Each structure stands twice: as C-alpha cells, then as structure tokens.
Amino acid sequence: MEKCKVIAIANQKGGVGKTTTALNVAIGMARNGYDVLIIDFDLQGDLTSSLGWKTNDALENSVSSMLDDYINDESINYDSLILSIPRWRSHHGIFTDTEGIYLALQGYNYGNGYISWAITNFGGYSKANAKVFSNMKCEELGVSGYGDPDYVDHVMRYVGLGFGNIRGEPNFENMKAWGMNNYYSQLGLYGQCTWFAWGRFYELYGYSPGFTGNGNQCVDQLVATHPDKFEKFNTPKVGAVFSGVGHNHVGIVIAWDGTNITIQEGNLDGKTNTFQEAKTDWQTKTYTLAQLNSIYKGVMFANPKA
C-alpha cells in the first residue's frame, strides 16, 4: 500500500456534490489506468446505489458490519466488503463510455428503481426516459414533482465528459490520445487542427472519433461513425466537435453559456510541426457564436446526444 493515495470527500452539509464528485473522480482515475477503491461511508449508501447496487440495504457486508466486527474483536473478511466493478460493471452492464455515467448520475438523483427500469425498458439512460420516469413517479406518489429529470445536464455542466478534464489543458503524455493511436500522428501531421481535435476528443471520451479527413469534414465523419452518440447541429453543446463550413478547421467546444462559446483548437501557426512543437501550438479562446461563425465562414457542431 506504499503508493496508495487516499482522497477524502467530506462535508457535513447534504446536497453539496460529495457523491457526484467521488463518482467522477474515481471513474476518471480508473479510465486513466489507476486501480481505484471507492469507500462509501455515507449511511444512505447513495454512491453504492449509483453504481448499480440499488438494494444496498440488503447487502450482507458493509462498513457498518465491519465496524461491528472490529468492536467485538472478531475477524474481518475485507474481501467480502468489496463489490467488484471491473471496467465499471454494474449489475446491469458495463460502463464503457459517458452513457453509463449518465445512467448512474440519473439513478443517483432518482434513487432506487430508475437504473433497472431504464435498462429494462429502454436499454439505458436518455433525457426523454428520465422525464417519463419522473412523470410516472409523480402519478404513482400523488406529488407534483419527482427528482430532477435534467439532473445529468445540470451536473455535466461542471465536470469532464469523458474522463479527461474538459476545462483543463491537454495531457500530451497520454500516448493513446497523441501517439500512434491518433490517426493523424500516423501520417506525421503533428500540430494540425485535425491532430489536435482527434487527440483532445480521445482524452475526453476514451475512444476514437472516427474522423480521418480534413477539418471541415470532421463533424460529418464523427456523426457518421457514432450516430448513437452524436448529432449535427448549428448550435453547440459542451463537449461538441465543431467544423468550419467555409474554412478548413476543426476544434473542441469546452464551454457554452448560450451566447459565448469557449473552444480549444490547434494549428495556430498554420503548418505541420514536430511533436514537441505541436504541444505548444494550440489555444483556448472564447468568442461569441456570431464571431466564431464569422471567423470560419459558418460552423457546424457534432453535439453529444445526452
């Protein structure tokens, strides 16, 4: 345990994001190759529920039972306390991308019942079925409101989408994103806007965007490759890929407030670089949407569907 790092997320106040923070930090670290153990000390067990164990009160072993054994000087079977989730496996499936996280987040907001209901009836989370579930529970319980059907959108405004940091800087040490796994690296096109967008997308989502063309083709190619995950729009969402219409360029949207759009883009010097040069040939910049459209003579966006 010499290299073990402990991160405690604690606050006496409820509803401040402890569970959501712990969930996203843990998943982000796991997706970056770390072995992660999440310890749910909350009496409600919401973190455990959000990862698929919707009947956590029925679990035979828990932190509480461990403490009872310790107080009574009984032996403790630590292995029995670990609920194994290889590759973010819940009882309902494997979380390999953002869809699993959206399902877990909405399940956390609604409590017991939503995750299994969504999997059984719809195959997973969608914004539409989140509203259906809320309406169903309102009718069942005779209440005017149940949970937050838009909880995923409200949370994901503040956290990374894939499990890189969407508002941070690119991690050029991540060779899966920037090395020979990157289609444009294979062609030696370091520093090109397509190389930058491919690598940044991989950092955020954990899989290839599927585009292999010029910058103005990337949105169409991304939507064609992942029609279940992205759709084409003329207004952005956070995490979108944008392509210039009249200008051969591509980049990533990292913030959007309805008027101002913050993007990350590469190839500021307009040429192919060495890898070392390419690591500094990018920027984060904020425009109005009108300004961005003017600069690139129109822009289109491949928006994440959730």
CA distances (Å), origin 158, targets 8, 21, 73? 20, 10, 45
- Give yes or no for residue 160 having a pLDDT over 60: no
pLDDT for the residue numbered 54: 56
Q: Which two tokens stand for residue 258?
A: 């309805």
Cα–Cα distance for residue pair 74/58, rounded to 1 Å:
22
pLDDT for the residue numbered 164: 52
pLDDT for the residue numbered 68: 82
43 burial (CB, 10 Å; 0-12 / 13-18 / 19+) is exposed
**Inter-residue contact 26 to 38 (CB < 8 Å):** yes
Least confident of 27-41, 45-59, 140-154, 279-293: 45-59
Mean pLDDT in the chain?
82
Least confident of 77-86, 246-255, 264-273: 77-86
Q: Using 50, 70 and 90 to split pLDDT, how confident is the model at 88?
A: very low
pLDDT for the residue numbered 33: 62
pLDDT for the residue numbered 117: 86
pLDDT for the residue numbered 116: 80
136 burial (CB, 10 Å; 0-12 / 13-18 / 19+) is middle
Contacts of 289 (CB under 8 A, 6+ apart): 235, 236, 259, 260, 261
Q: For 78, phi and psi rounded to 5 degrees?
A: -65, -35
The CA-based dihedral angle spanning residues 295, 296, 298, 304, taken in that order and rounded to the nearest 10 degrees: -110
**Inter-residue contact 164 to 220 (CB < 8 Å):** no
